[in-house]
Amino acid sequence: MGTNFYLKGHSDSDDPKYHIGKRSAAGLYCWDCGVTFCMLGEKGIHCNSGDEWHNKCPECGKKPSEEDFSSGAAARELGFDKSPFKQKSGVASCSSFTWARKLGKVKKIEDEYRTKYSRDEFEKMLEECPVQYFNSMGQWFS
């Protein structure tokens, strides 16, 4: 589950030079402490068996707030959460972003569903992605 982002006008292209990266739901995160609930750390978020997650923040002990299917990172990826991007606090779900290229001077972006983003809107979206990976290979994501 995730959303790919491209230079505006190139969401149908197979050329990796237009692919900016992919946002993916990344599980629970303590926004106050800046820590994932994944016991394997940020590198293990997308490659663990699913049972290697803390049930409370490993730093401060806070437990998750209630998120229903209309909010949270998974709802955002499935298209159910269309609320404005916002700064989060406490314990809630988060997204990761895997960069396929540097953003550079890019001003206009679109996702695989052809939703358009200004540079400011894209940067606001990235605030919901505290976990970021940098892919130097420029590979495609499915």
Q: What is the DSSP string of 23-87?
A: EEEEEEEETTTTEESBTT-GGGTTSS-S--B-SS-TTT-PPPPP--TTSSHHHHHHT---SPP--
Residue-number span of the structural domain to which 106 is assigned:
2-134
Q: What is the pLDDT of residues 55-92, one digit of tens each?
A: 999 999 999 877 777 788 988 988 888 889 988 999 99
Q: What is the pLDDT of residues 10-64, one digit of tens each?
A: 999 889 999 999 999 999 999 999 999 999 999 999 886 667 899 999 999 999 8
Is 115 inside a domain boundary? yes
Is 82 inside a domain boundary? yes
What pTM was computed for the model? 0.89
Is 141 inside a domain boundary? no
Total structural domains in the chain? 1
Is 98 inside a domain boundary? yes
